[in-house]
Structure 1
Amino acid sequence: MARQDGMAVISALLIAAVVAVIAAGMIERQGLQTRQVENRQMALQGQWALEGGLQLSRRVLFEQRLRDPLVRGGQPWTRPLRDVPSGSVRFDGQLEDEQGKFNLRNLVVDGQVDSEALATFQRLCALIGIGERLATAIAGQVIDSYPQRPPVSPGSADQGLQGGRATSPAVAAEALPARRPMLRSVDALVGLKGMDAEALQRLRRFVTVLPAMTWINGNTASAEVLAAQVPGLPLQQAMALVAERDSGRWFINRGDFVNRLRMPQLAMANVRVGINSDWFRLRGQARLGSRELPLQALLRQREGQLPDVIWSRVGA
């Protein structure tokens, strides 16, 4: 009888243990499902917050263009987009004028390397501490990412016509395909030999990649970019010019910029600096507690319309 009682106790304990294990598993699965639901809700709220921040940045740029066609510091678009609420999620963001930077797209014009733009980029790299070897590698990768036309020797077209042959200029100048994928941002250079995190961070401050060729905006460019862009302009003089500009003496037109350089030997045609900008980058993040969802987007201004979103990237 005692033995039967002992077996009954053991059976009861085993059943209780099994029930406890099953219950623990159910609780764990329920907790996992709850966390998955919370993560999905966070992702959805984050997406809405990012979309709200993106649309706000478009409105800010649109309204700024209506008020003042010049793009300069101190305007509403330069202010941080902070704590824009979207439910329980907050969006923080900042717009940057991409035409205050050197545009790597300028290195190739009509399928040919632009020697002036290449020299500008080399000067800029020297000013910001990017070594010559790395600068050459960057330029090479950018140049290889665009179709290129072989150089045409002088007089070759005339010789063809004089020979009576119906040579097609289009065939003679046919572009060679790009040898590398086209870069969408400076971050795409991360795998380049010699490129470390510090060099990439420096490049982000002074260099951009845009879908079209652009001029520098003299009202937003750094002293380093201006010194590189204007041949013969010393960095110290560029720094003084930027300090004067940022004190409120903004450039009102291209001629004003050239005159204030005080370089009479400089031909205006050689100065690719203006006072307007069409390209802006938005960097921001949606925040819920300690969790963040980052966003980058490239915007292009359009006359009389909200800016176009050329591309946007979430989670980068």
Structure 2
Amino acid sequence: MAWQQQLWLRQVENLAAQAQSRVVVLAALQWARSVLAQDARSSSVDHLGEGWAQALSPLPVEGGELSGGLSDQQGLFNLNSLVREGKASAADLAAFRKLLELLQLPPGLASAVADWIDPDAEATYPGGAEDMDYLALDPPYRAANRALTTVDGLYRIKGFDAARVARLRAFVTALPQATPVNVNTAPAEVLAAAIADLSLDQARALVASRKARHFTDLADFRARLPQPAAQVNETLLSVGSRYFLVTGHARFGRAKAGCQALLEREATAWPKLVWQKNI
């Protein structure tokens, strides 16, 4: 009887700690929204020297601790930009193929992703896949013909496996609409992919230079490009961002909780929650 009471008390303690953890994680989400709203009021330019980009060190709270941070999702290549207004975007396809090549992955994977998203039933050459390819699998299924909601959606697309998704994950995202790449926050690989004539070494030099001085606008960015990299499609680039990922972790005793949420910030409005999940 005594051991049953002890077990019951332990379960009650764990449930209480889990509830506390979830509350603190939700508080972290509200903190992130407040930080982003305040940042928008001060500037339309987003860069890694700003307060929102600094990780939240483990913060002691009564009975536990909280940690987390924000990351700019427009510093990554948005897979859903491959299809704009219902049609494959040649410029975005070229950028994604270059990114795949830089990561030593087959460039034909870009066509497979575009076909998964676009509404038509015609496979894109080379490497595309439509319903006929997926219906031949066991079990069979059809191409989604709609935007990806998360990067994990790649697992269902022809040519992708766990290793390839893992290789891509640090460089791609899936946002609700087509978006430009923020040149102030993009890693060198994404910058090099977005500019046809820019080499990876040149992109790394740009990333190093922006640590001392961020790009104030696209004119400033163009002026600091190496001369050979003259072809810049400004529809693919920006110096500001709209979508941010917030990650929060909380610990109380033996209980832990974590969440991720995608926030959309429009001008100075309070950031909207796009999706949220426990991690």
Alignment of 1:133-152 (within 5 A): 136-137=108-109, 139-141=111-113, 143-148=115-120
Q: Report the Cα distance in structure 1 between the residues aligned to 2:181 and 2:101, rounded to whole angstroms.
A: 18
Structure 1 pair 191–86 and aligned structure 2 pair: CA distance change class (3 A): farther
Q: TM-score, normalised by structure 1?
A: 0.74
State the 4+ residue runs in structure 1 displaced beyond 4 angstroms.
190-194, 267-271
CA contact (8 A) 2:245 2:262 kept: yes
Q: Report the Cα distance in structure 2 between the residues aligned to 1:207 and 1:44, rounded to whole angstroms.
A: 33
| Worse-superposed segment, 290-299 or 234-243 | 290-299
Consecutive unaligned residues of structure 1, counting only runs of 5 or more, are 1-25, 151-177
Where is the helix percentage greater, Structure 1 or Structure 2?
1
Q: Does 1:266 align with 2:241?
A: no
Consecutive unaligned residues of structure 2, counting only runs of 5 or more, are 123-141
- State which of 287, 290, 295 in structure 1 corresponds to 2:251: 287
Structure 1 pair 304–194 and aligned structure 2 pair: CA distance change class (3 A): closer
Q: Report the Cα distance in structure 1 between the residues aligned to 2:222 and 2:268, rounded to whole angstroms.
A: 30
Residue 90 of structure 1 corresponds to which residue in structure 2? Answer: 65
Structure 1 pair 265–31 and aligned structure 2 pair: CA distance change class (3 A): closer
Shift of 1:191: 5.7
Shift of 1:269: 4.2
Q: Report the Cα distance in structure 1 between the residues aligned to 2:160 and 2:265, rounded to whole angstroms.
A: 35
Structure 1 pair 47–139 and aligned structure 2 pair: CA distance change class (3 A): farther
Q: Which has the higher contact order (CA 8 A, sep 6+)?
A: 2
Residue 266 of structure 2 corresponds to which residue in structure 1? Answer: 302
CA contact (8 A) 1:296 1:312 kept: yes
Structure 1 pair 139–30 and aligned structure 2 pair: CA distance change class (3 A): farther
> What secondary structure sits across from 2:271 in the alignment?
strand
Cα deviation digits, residues 34-64 of structure 1 (max 9, x gap): 2221222122101101111000111111111
Q: Does 1:57 align with 2:35?
A: no
Cα deviation digits, residues 227-258 of structure 1 (max 9, x gap): 11000111111111111111x22111111112
Q: Report the Cα distance in structure 2 between the residues aligned to 1:201 and 1:285, rounded to whole angstroms.
A: 22
Percent identity at matched positions? 34
CA contact (8 A) 2:18 2:256 kept: no
Q: Report the Cα distance in structure 2 between the residues aligned to 1:54 and 1:91, rounded to whole angstroms.
A: 12
Q: Report the Cα distance in structure 2 between the residues aligned to 1:253 and 1:283, rounded to whole angstroms.
A: 28
> What secondary structure sits across from 1:302 in the alignment?
coil
CA contact (8 A) 2:154 2:160 kept: no
Q: Does 1:243 align with 2:192?
A: no
CA contact (8 A) 2:82 2:88 kept: yes
Residue 229 of structure 1 corresponds to which residue in structure 2? Answer: 194
Shift of 1:264: 6.8
Structure 1 pair 195–242 and aligned structure 2 pair: CA distance change class (3 A): same
Alignment of 1:31-70 (within 5 A): 31-70=6-45
Q: RMSD of the alignment, in Å?
A: 2.5
Structure 1 pair 182–35 and aligned structure 2 pair: CA distance change class (3 A): farther
Shift of 1:186: 1.2
- State which of 195, 199, 204 in structure 1 corresponds to 2:161: 195
Residue 126 of structure 2 corresponds to which residue in structure 1? Answer: none
Q: TM-score, normalised by structure 2?
A: 0.83
Q: Report the Cα distance in structure 2 between the residues aligned to 1:149 and 1:45, rounded to whole angstroms.
A: 49
Structure 1 pair 86–274 and aligned structure 2 pair: CA distance change class (3 A): same
CA contact (8 A) 1:48 1:86 kept: no
Q: Does 1:124 align with 2:99?
A: yes
Q: Report the Cα distance in structure 1 between the residues aligned to 2:234 and 2:44, rounded to whole angstroms.
A: 24
Shift of 1:270: 5.5
